[in-house]
Amino acid sequence: MRSVKWTTLTTVGNVLLQLGQMIVLAHLLSPEEFGLMAMVLVVIRILTPLMQAGFSQAIIQDQTVDQDQLSTLYWLNLLLGLGTFGLLALLAPKIGLFFQEEGLTSLLRWSGVAFLILPLGLQYQALFAKKLQFDRLATIQLSGHLAEFALSVVAALKGAGVYALIIGFLGRVTINSILSIGLGYRLHRPGWVLQIGRVRSLVRFGAFEAANQMANLVSAQVDKLIIGRLLGAELLGLYSIAWELIILPIARINPVITRVAFPVYARLQNDPVTLNRYYTQSVSVLMLFNIPVLLGIGLVAEEFLYLFYGPQWVAAGTTLSILAVTGIAKAMGNPGGGILLARGRSDLGFYWNVVWTLALSGLLWAFLSFWPTIEAAAMAQLTGAYTIAWIWHYLVQTVGKLDYGALLRKTGKWLVLSLPMVVGVWLVGKGVEGVAWRFALKVCTGILLYAGSLWLFGRQEVTHLWQMIKQTK
């Protein structure tokens, strides 16, 4: 129970820290500087699977991995990190030319230092997940975000510009690696072992997972690639702030369940009945929180940006509202990857991500060709999320032998219970003068109406889901 409480508290802390960091830096840096950092992160995120090589997922999935195999994978990870760092250093000038930003080369090379630091702690984080020690993972993440917040804000105040974001990023990965080693050294001390033959099956599994992750990340970043190329750094900065606000609750709420879920799925891979029940409950918990949070963000988008980010960011308001609706579909599909991994079908995830990347790229190019705005990019995301993305759910249902009818009924229930909140917030916002008063009234109305709906019509199920969360210690 302590583990669950601590993980929940640190998750809330991480959300508040990241939100606070974005708000403070939005007043110190320009949309163009945020756009440059978005370009950097696109490249870093796409290359990260080359360094990770799917070894963490292979370690969690294989229930028989021994100390010599762990040592071999550890050294291989370090070598891959060095290779990825070198690759980025070589590609940086060409990437700068693609985005038509000369200063991007230096930013990319400095950011690439992360590939030398990250492999030092990755294996320990995988072992924490395998042993369900999520309180340690939560502590590491919280500490890393504290370091990033402090370093980036101080650097921005000193006039570092976009480099403030680079400094914060490198500070976070450094603290994460140091704490991972310190907390995990008792679990495993890498020996001077390099037995390639003994890790071939793990490497094979990891290679598919790395390819899957890269395809997934390309699909997740292709909008920034295209916007950065066609619309420039300033508009990309506006879009990236809107996107980060939507991803923030998904990236922080979902892992409370999904980090627990994948190791549990791996253990239940030969028990489809229990696996189906656990997956349905897991997604239900996620949607219980994600639906009202995302809808709420969409309903107060312009007021939120004006009050907390400043007038220069209000131009992203409509984009933020559109992406909020997109986020609901992404939140529902997010846990499905754990099912494919637990079943040893990371190859399907890879093929799907290739298809999704091509489809989303086509949608983005089509929308932006006729309507070259960030709102058009958000509409392309929305269109894909509620049409093509259902292929993903079909794969997850088929491979996991899941009862999607029950899952849709539970998700539909949270949507219906959110409707009074949506209508109420929309109505109270009309005719209210003053941005601050309108924002406060909308937020209070939304909280009260959703809480009231849950109390009247969902109290028993919420209690049951909370009991399930407490059991995942």
Report the pLDDT value the prediction gives residue 268, as an integer from 0 to 100: 54
The pLDDT of residue 386 is above 50? yes
Whether residue 61 is predicted with pLDDT greater than 90 in this model: the reply is no
Residues 162 and 280 reside in one and the same domain: no
Domain identity same for 314 and 427 = yes
User: Backbone phi, then psi, for 270, in 5-degree steps?
Assistant: -100, 15
271 and 353 housed in the same domain: yes
DSSP three-state, residue 332: helix
Domain final residue pick, 155, 176, 194: 194
Let me know if residue 208 belongs to a domain.
no
Task: Supply the pLDDT for residue 45.
Answer: 87
Q: Are residues 29 and 173 in the same domain?
A: yes
Q: Are 177 and 118 in contact (CB under 8 A)?
A: yes
Q: Give a three-class secondary structure readout of 377-418.
A: HHHHHHHHHCCCCHHHHHHHHHHHCCCHHHHHHHHHHHHHHH
Write out pLDDT tens, residues 304-314: 999 988 888 99
Q: Is residue 206 part of a domain?
A: no
**Gap between the Cα atoms of 213 and 198, Å rounded:** 24
Report the distance separating Cα 144 and Cα 169, nearest Å.
Answer: 9
Q: How many domains does the chain have?
A: 2
The amino acid at 373? T
Cα-Cα end-to-end distance for the chain: 6
**Domain match, 266 and 390 both:** yes
Within-domain flag for 472 = yes
Distance CA 248, CA 279 (A): 22
Boundary residue ending a domain (194, 213, 237) = 194
> What span, in angstroms and rounded, lies between the C-alpha atoms of 198 and 209?
19
Whole-number Å distance between alpha carbons of 51 and 318 = 37
| Residue 406 and residue 268 in one domain | yes
Kindly state the greatest CA–CA separation across the chain. 71
Q: Distance (Å, rounded) from C-alpha 209 to C-alpha 211?
A: 5
Q: Are residues 381 and 444 in the same domain?
A: yes
Q: Within this chain, do residues 141 and 259 fall inside the same structural domain, yes or no?
A: no
**Do residues 331 and 286 touch, judged by C-beta distance below 8 A?**
yes
Most confident of the following: 5-14, 15-24, 228-237, 281-290 = 228-237
Same domain, 240 and 377: yes
DSSP 196: G
Q: Burial of 189 by CB count in 10 Å (0-12 exposed, 13-18 middle, 19+ buried)? A: exposed
Residue 136, pLDDT above cutoff 70:
yes
C-alpha 110 chain-centroid distance:
23
Residue 89 burial (10 A CB sphere; 0-12, 13-18, 19+): middle
Q: Is residue 299 situated within a structural domain? A: yes
Weakest-pLDDT range from 148-152, 347-351, 409-413:
347-351
In a domain, 209, yes or no: no
Are 227 and 363 within 8 A, CB to CB?
no
Q: Vertex 446, ends 440 and 452: CA angle to 5°?
A: 135
Task: Report the pLDDT value the prediction gives residue 220, as an integer from 0 to 100.
Answer: 77
Over 60: is that where the pLDDT of 264 sits? no
- Does 62 map to a domain? yes
Contact 156, 28 (CB under 8 A): yes
Secondary structure element (H or E) that encloses residue 122, with its range: helix 119-130
Tell me how far apart the alpha carbons of residues 73 and 56 are, in angstroms, rounded to a whole number: 9
Domain assignment present for residue 425? The answer is yes
Which tens digits make up the pLDDT trace of 315-369? 999 999 999 999 888 888 777 777 776 666 767 777 888 888 889 899 998 999 8
Confirm if 109 and 87 have CB atoms less than 8 A apart.
no
129-138 b/e (C-beta count within 10 Å ≥ 16 → b): bbebbbbbbb
> Which H or E element spans position 338?
helix 336-342
CA gap 148, 418 in Å, rounded: 35
Distance CA 236, CA 373 (A): 10
Q: What is the pLDDT of residue 256?
A: 56
CA distance linking residue 446 with residue 8, whole number of Å? 22
Asked if 179 and 239 sit in the same domain, the reply is no
Q: What is the domain range of residue 272?
A: 223-473
Same domain flag for 180 and 242: no
Residues 176 and 247 in one domain: no
Flag whether 212 is in a domain.
Answer: no
Q: Which of 194, 211, 240 is the endpoint of a domain? A: 194
Section 109-119 average pLDDT: 93
- Which position has the higher pLDDT, 402 or 226? 226
In angstroms, the CA 337 to CA 348 distance is 10
